[in-house]
Amino acid sequence: MAIDQKLLEILRCPVCVRESDDAGLLTLVKDVWLVCQTCERKYPIRDDIPVMLVEEGDRWRATAVDALPDTPPEPAV
């Protein structure tokens, strides 16, 4: 199940949205990632729920968009 478009329109990166209301727009990638257009943090979507924890975004920040897994990753332990 894909993420609802209305939800995608209102969600923002929790780090970047602190800077301005226009910052932190997210792009849906591979139907299981939300990628911040401002800082390039990548947030997984697990069981149709976006995991908007800064730690999760940081975990995948250095990974290129093309290299992201096609399935949601397991939570960091």
SS3 annotation, 19-41: CCCCCCCEEEECCCEEEECCCCC
Torsion sign across C-alpha atoms 60, 23, 26, 46: positive
19 pLDDT exceeds 80? no
Q: Which domains does the chain have, with CATH numbers?
A: 5-66 (2.20.25)
Predicted local distance difference test score (pLDDT) of residue 3: 80
Backbone torsion region of residue 54, taken as left when φ is above 0, otherwise alpha when ψ lies between -120 and 50, otherwise beta = alpha
pTM score, whole prediction: 0.88
- The answer on pLDDT for 30 being more than 80 is yes
**Across residues 26-42, what is the average pLDDT?**
95
In the structure, what pLDDT confidence band is assigned to residue 60 with cuts at 50, 70 and 90? Answer: very high
Answer whether 29's CB lies under 8 Å from 35's CB: yes
pLDDT value for 18: 77
Residue 4 pLDDT class (50, 70, 90 cuts) = confident
